Structures are given as structure tokens and as C-alpha cells.
Chains A and B, each alone.
Chain A
Amino acid sequence: MQKRVSRGRFLKTLGAAGVAGSTLTILSCQPNTNAASSGGGGGGGPEEKELALYNWSDYVAKSTIPSFEEKTGIQVTQDFYGSNEDLLGKLQAGATGYDVIVPSDYMVTVMIKSDVIQKLDKSKIPNTKNVGEDYTGLSYDPNNEYSLPYQWGTTGILYNKKETGELDGTWDPMWDPQFEGQIAMLADSRETLGAALYKLGYSVNTKDDGELAEAEAALKDQQPLLRGYFISTEVRPLVQNGDILLGHVYSGDAFLALAGNKDLDYIIPQPQASRWTDNMCIPNGAAHPDNAHKFINHILGADTGAKLSNYTYYNTPNQAALPKIDPALKDLPGYTLTPEIFERLEVIEDVGAKTREYERIFTEVRSA
């Protein structure tokens, strides 16, 4: 009896030792913010004709990938992520193998600072000249050393003009009690806190505690009037179906809704609103950086750029593609922006250590 029990115990002790040993190994490998050490690096010798594209789902037109594959003979594998932070987390935890990624503006800054993306070799991207002036040199990557724009847009208000009448053009209608239960805001902490900050006349990137406290109060006032906090693509059908009258949305969703319904309208509120840009970057440790550059160049081609935006309904940063954009799109309110509107658009930047404060405020507002 003694013998039997101790045999079992022996095996268990062995197992425990194994677990302990593996743990020590793991703990010595922290999630590395520098993925350059792992994965097959590029350079030296011709690359295989493959490309691993890591993009948002459904963010390419039907012809985008096939035309690239035909032109260059490079086979493209597509994989998908649904949030910038998911992408960042995966890269920082050491996942490699992706050649082109498409992070949003503020995330590019974070990625530069945490050293997960590499500098672009513009000599391999002649189509850089197609990118319009308004879309380069933005604060998140001042010299576009690491990124080139993919699509851009604004964040504004999609509303049912027939029911609400003409709005005053500011953010105030989103706080108007007469629309109680029929307003929707975005579930994005930066955008929604941003709307409150804009309403109060402050910057969306403020780090001032006083201003943030005021914004928090404003959001708490607004909360009872809201239907809820949603993702932009969920707001679109709510406005289309008449469940809500005023929705905080990204421009692409607004345009999709406007295209089908004459009663709707989209405004970019005064005094300020956000503009955002999704960008193409190459992660450290990419297996096919040369092919990646070719792909970026392809996207920046006039034809490809136009087809892309005609499919996604977002704006193209590609000056050369503009003439080929669907005229029906160009006529939609808020699609073609005047310099005056550009002036009052702010780019959401990473706020570093204050990020947690923004999150805490948003959690508190929603919990109220």
C-alpha cells in the first residue's frame, strides 16, 4: 500500500518539477516589445513570392488582392484582426510572420515607441507621390518614416433630418433632452470623451485633469439620454431603421447609410471633430519586406486606390485616385472636405500615461 501511494506521488512530484522548470524558462522570456529578434528577418537573397497581409476584415475591394497577385505573381495570405490593441498585443507578445499591417493613427505612434514596426524604404514605393499633402506629415508619424496612409475619414453625426429638422451644427444636439432615448454615442473611449471635450472647447488630446473632469461630468449628464454606446457599424442600421435619430459614427458608415436614404444627413460638428487615418506599416521581423513594399506601392496606385475607396466608402488619401472616385460618393455631405473644415479637424494622438485615466472615466460613465 505504501509503495503504491509513493509511486503515484513520485510521478506527481516529477510533474511538478516539470511545471516549475518550464515556468522559469517562460518567466525569463518577457513579452518583448522588440519583435526584431524573433522570426525570419528579411534581407539577403530573393524573397519567396508570398505576402502575409494582416488587415481589418473586409477592408479590401474585390479586385485589390487579385490585381496584385496577377501583376507581381506574389501569393497573398489574408488574416484579420478587429482592434488596434489586439494587433499590438499580438505583435508585442512575439507573434511574427505578418508582412503588412494596417494600424490606425495613434497606434502607429505606440508601435514606433515600442519598436514593433520598421522604417519604410521610400525608394521602393514610387507611388508615394500619389498621396495628397493633407494626408502626410501628420503628428503620429511626422515624416511618414514608418507608415503611409491607407484610408481616412472623419467622425461626426449621422442623423435623420426629416425627424429632427436642421441641426445647429455643433455637438450640442447629442446632449439635447428632446431626443432622449434616441441618441447613440461610440463605444470608443477616445472618440466619446473627445466629443465631450470638443463640446467644451478643449482638445481631444488634453492631459489636463480639470478639463477631463469637466468632460466626465458632461458625459455623465449625457448618459441618461442615450440609447447606448455602440460600434459605428451598429449605429448605422439603428439610424436607418429609425430606432435612433442621432448617431455618433465614422464617416464611411454615414456614407453607406446616406447612399440609401434621402432623409438622412451627416455633419462634421463645430467647433472641432476628429479625423482618423488607417495606415500601412511593416512589422519588425517581417519575412517578406520587399514584397511588402511592393504591396504598399500597389495600394497607392491610382486605380487600386479608387477601387478600394469605392468599395469601402471611406475617403482615399490618394490624390491620383480622386478623379476615379464614384461621383455619387463625392456628392455626399461630408465626403469632400473644404480647407476650412480640415482646419478644425483634430487627429487623435496617443496620450501616453493618461490613457488609463481616459479609460477609467469612460468605465465610470458607462457604469453610472
Chain B
Amino acid sequence: MSAKAGGPVYKGVGKIPDRALLLFSISIYAFLYAPILVLMFFSFNSTRSTQTWTGFSTEWYVALLRDQTIHDAFFNSMKVGITATLIATVIGTLTALALTRHNFRGKVAADTTIYAATVMPEIVVGVSLLVFFVATLIPLGIELGIVTIVIAHVAFTISFVTIVVRARLAGMDESLEEAAQDLGANPVTTFMRITLPLIFPGVMAGALLAFTLSFDDFVITFFVSGVGSSTLPLKIYSMIKFGVTPVINALSTVVLVATIALIFGGSRLLVRRENS
């Protein structure tokens, strides 16, 4: 095959494969967002139904403003989600570093434990953690509540973070880090200045996954929660018996719009800074 002259032969979206990939990607986003559009639509429904359209109304947004239980649940979910994500991401990243970069006796056991923590069905994890907490934490004066929920969430998300960060670390060449160490940097500096920036997308991906898992978790959270610590999923999933009302759609719409606005706003700021 003759060598092609010049720089990259394909650019932008000029070629068919590129166009196909773009179209495909747009379709996947459409797939992901189709139910989102529907739920936003029904947030303006004029009756209690989230599936039968009867007319336009903003009453659910008003109801959302007035429903204290939803506000409390939302803030509990955020508190738990952010705290658990931070802890799990730190622990998971450290663990990934240990498992990828070192060989030691008991490594197989460690590996297996990490995988094992993902395979147990949620209900047994929830029930057994509850029994464990009742036996150990409550005598120590720690009530069931945000603390126990965070502990449980970290426990089941660490492995997910570890697995994702390992995927990032694998095959990553350590020469930069070794060079830094040869130049006299201590392990912490090497980690903060060299390793972390290199693995950052993996760490961010792991954090995103952990947060997502935590934010919509019902089963485990149900069992380890206490009085006043109901999270959003506890509120929503338990609405199943009498019907989920569009107030939840309204909440989701608000959260989604705010989040997307933040993402785009943030991106444009970054792009502008890059350009200046």
C-alpha cells in the first residue's frame, strides 16, 4: 500500500464514515433522551396521570413548590450522593492503583472481593447491612440515617469506581512517573502532579458512575435509612402503590434543565477561556 502524503487524510465530517458515526451518535442520544422528552411533556398534564394526556396545566410545578417531603428527599439524595461519591472515588482510585501497579500475595483475593462486591443482589446487601448496623452502630449511638446510607452507598460503589479507573490505568506507561521520582519528587507530589492528571478522565468517569448509582438507589437505601432520611428514590418508588403523580415529572424537568444549563454554561466558559 503506498504511503499517503501529507497530514491526516480525513477531517471533520467530510467523509461518509464520519457522517455515519455522527448520525449514529445522534440516534443514541435520541434514544437516551426520548423518554425524557415524554416525561417533560407530562409534567404539564392537567390530571394525576403521567401516561394519559388530558390537557395543559402548571399545577404540578406549583405542587412541587409546596411539597416539603419532596424538597427534603431531594436534598437528602444530594447530600448522600455527593458525600458517598467523594469517598468512594477516593477509595476506589487508591484501590485501582494498588491492584494495577502492584503484585502481592492475596492479590487474587483482593481482586475477587472487588468483583464480589458487585455481584450480590441489592436486597440481601440491604437487609444484611441493616442487621449489621442495628447490632453494631446503634449501640454506639449512631442512628439509622444519612450516615448509614452514605456508608452503604460507598460500600456498593467502591468496586465500580475501581473497575473503571483500572480500565484507565491498564497499559498506561509509568515512565513519566518514574522520571519524576528520579528527579526527586516524593510519592504524593508524583501522584498529584503526574498520575492524577493522567488518570483524571477515568476518575471522573468512575465518580459519575458512583453518583448515578447512588442517586437512584432504592433497595439498599430503603433498608438502611432512618426517620427523616428518606431520599428521592424512597419517595418516588414508594409512590408506586397509589400512583406516581406528575409532580415527580416536574421535579425531574427542573433538575434536568438546570443540569444541562450548567453543563453548557460551564463548557462555553471553558471554551472561551481556551480561546482567549
Contact = CB atoms under 8 A, between A and B. Distances in A.
B44 to A, nearest CB: 17
A98 B144 CA distance: 11
Interface in A8-54: 8-9, 12, 22, 25-26, 29, 31, 38, 52
Nearest to A239: B52
Contact of B136 (A22, A57, A62, A98): A22
A90 B228 contact: no
B136 A79 contact: no
Interface string A85-105: 010011001110110000000
B234 A233 contact: no
B54 A231 contact: no
A78 interface: yes
Interface residues of A, number: 43
Interface in A222-259: 231-233, 236-237, 240-241, 252-253, 256
B4 interface: no
Contacts of A327: none
Nearest to B243: A233
B11 interface: no
A52 B127 CA distance: 21
Nearest to B245: A58
A233 B234 CA distance: 17
A114 to B, nearest CB: 15
A94 B228 contact: no
Interface residues of B, number: 42
Given A93-B134, A256-B48, A82 B238 contact: yes
Contacts of B104: 8
A50 to B, nearest CB: 9
A270 B235 CA distance: 37
A5 B148 CA distance: 35
B52 A57 contact: no
Contacts of B50: 237
Contact of A26 (B49, B132, B229): B132
Contacts of B52: 237, 240-241, 260
A56 B69 CA distance: 13
24 contacts: A8-B104, A25-B135, A26-B136, A29-B134, A31-B131, A57-B238, A58-B245, A79-B227, A79-B228, A80-B235, A89-B223, A90-B222, A93-B134, A94-B130, A94-B138, A97-B143, A98-B227, A232-B241, A233-B240, A233-B241, A233-B242, A233-B243, A240-B52, A312-B242
Interface of A: 5, 8-9, 12, 22, 25-26, 29, 31, 38, 52, 56-59, 62, 77-83, 86, 89-90, 93-95, 97-98, 231-233, 236-237, 240-241, 252-253, 256, 260, 312
Interface of B: 47-52, 54, 66, 69, 104-106, 127, 130-132, 134-136, 138, 143-144, 222-223, 225-230, 234-245
